[in-house]
Amino acid sequence: MSASSGCGCQETASSPSQDQVNRFPWEEFGLLGVAIAWFGVGLVLSVRGRLPLWGEWLWFIPAYLWVGWGVLTTAGRRLLKGKALDENFLMTIATLGAIAIGELPEALAVMLFYRLGEAIQDLAVDRSRDSIRALLEIRPDLANLKTAEGLEPVSPESVAVGAEILVKPGERVPLDGEVLSGESYLDTSALTGESVPRSVKPGEGVLAGSINQNGALTVRVTRPFGESSLVRILELVQQARQQKAPTEKFISRFARRYTPIVVALALAIALIPPLLGGSLTQWGYRALVLLVISCPCSLVVSIPLGYFGGIGGAAKQGILLKGSVFLDRLTDVSTVVFDKTGTLTEGSFEVTQVEANPPWDEEMLLHYSAIAESQSTHPIAQSISRAWTGPLDSNLLQTVQEYPGRGLRATLTNSKVCDIAIGNERLFQELGQELGLAPLSTSQGSGTRVRVAFDGQDAGTLEVADRLREDAPQAIQDLRDQGIQRIILLTGDNKTVAQAVGDRLGLDEVYSELLPEDKAKLLERWLREPRGPGAVIFVGDGINDAPALALADVGVAMGGGGGGLGSDAAIETADVVLMEDSPAKLVQAIAISHRTRTIVWQNIILAFAIKLLVIILGTLGLAGLWEAVIADVGVALVAVANATRAAKG
């Protein structure tokens, strides 16, 4: 029985190694079983009068030292460091006090059941980490690298970007990449929480950690293993344990102040009544009962475990939280602010209309617009490039200057057009004097209108349409049902399109034609408003959303990214990452946060209620050390078992 196993409940809550997590502590429980049997035999002999006083000392004290050595030495080390007042100190004083008044069987019983409770708590904590272990288990060991000599099994860490790998049916995808050949269905449930397999074909992205179900895929690697979706998920989950929720911090501070108060009360109970004529032995025994029942293990272990379970349960559903502090904040949300494109809408744009002004025709307008947009990663730009189905000579592109949230300007060589400006009306307001163009007509269609100028002349417009995400209307209604008071839309799109989306979803406020800095300014304004305890959430998916994500009380990033992991800037900045591009995941995250907080407060109330009851009974002489230790261990185990429910998501 190692000393470390008796180090106390705060160490119990720490993260064990993977080897520790995966093995059952047979040795620990075996030794405790022997100790319990030894105690039982000694108790029977003592009750029957077969053990004289010196026999009790010879029988119980060696067992007490064997079982409690870890607790005793830990209390001694902490005493020398000036940090004595913890649960090890409480158990040490209580049991030594019992020995001092001749209650040897009870001293051993207190230490034995305390150690048994600690061991069972350790096991419960380890078992509660199944969701995190499940993520660790999806880490692939090998990648089938295509070489000139054929397939070579290699470590995923050694595969370079651009290399080609073969993913056979039944294998896990080892790295993020793009399908070059083959079609199949991928099980992405461990990553996104989505149980329905996702169909993939050439040109589509795949995520490391997903399972190839039925067809061989040739994949070109797009990210090194260290930057893959899988590794970043694991890093996010591990980092989540570093940021504590306010309730966790409160309990840690409370425990540091609580123990000295308990010791002072125990001293008062032991000394004051005897000064007034009471029995020193009787009141000393009652003080020992107070010390035993006051051990704060059930709180110190179960509350962090509850939050950790909530984070793990959310991870199983494809919701990554970067700390329990954000899980806690999600329970007090008053305002949800959505970006539009790629968040409430699919972000899968299509060019629905081309209007060219003479002397240019529609084919020429679309062709040169596609060349200009060919290097941009913006969804609208990519839709314009896709709309041109002919040969695309991007070598004509000489320089590109992007204007975030507005459009771009490009110069071409060896073509009929030298200078191209393409974007929304805000871009042309900025370039108006230089280009000498009149304002665009305010008449709008159902989509986003993109204006194009060739060599300073108005060449025409492209209309690009987007679709609402299928689950967006129900997600907005579910947020209302969760008590969200205010739901707002922010977008760089034009007013007509933005208002149409807002009306369809029944949003409270719609702000359109915004630059990234405009979104950030609005967030700052709302955060300064008197709003009580309610938090402001911002939900976005792109690099343009990073400033707003950073400012919000809780920044939520759509991380699916159509097969990747969304915008790197958005993922790094956000506090919560939704692995599936679905507004319904936000509803699920808020529900998990409420469930976790409920479980945490159930544990707090249960622990304090039982402890207070036994303290009162012990002070009145109606409960002894036996009842105290059973109540303490029992409350701790019930609280831990309750906390593990949070991991179910």
| Catalytic residue IDs | 339
Distant-in-sequence, close-in-space partners of 352: CB < 8 Å, separation ≥ 6? 445, 446, 447, 463, 464, 465
Using CA atoms, how far apart are residues 388 and 383, in angstroms rounded to an integer? 9
Helix (H) or strand (E) holding 283: helix 280-293
Using CA atoms, how far apart are residues 274 and 587, in angstroms rounded to an integer? 60
42 by Cβ neighbours in 10 Å (0-12 / 13-18 / 19+) ranks as buried
- Provide the 8-state DSSP code for 349: -
Could you identify the residue written with the tokens 């002004």?
Answer: 357
Burial 130-154 (b: 16+ CB within 10 A, else e): bbbeebeebbbeebbbbeeeeeeeb
Question: Of 557, 565, 633, 641, whose CA–CA distance to 36 is shortest?
Answer: 633
212 in Cβ contact with 225 (< 8 Å):
no
- Longest Cα–Cα distance of the chain, Å, equals 115
CA dist 573 to 226, 260, 568, Å?
19, 41, 8
386 in Cβ contact with 376 (< 8 Å):
no
Bridge partners, 457 (sequence order): 454
Using CA atoms, how far apart are residues 134 and 575, in angstroms rounded to an integer? 22
CA dist 572 to 250, 304, 560, Å?
28, 25, 14
Using CA atoms, how far apart are residues 290 and 604, in angstroms rounded to an integer? 18
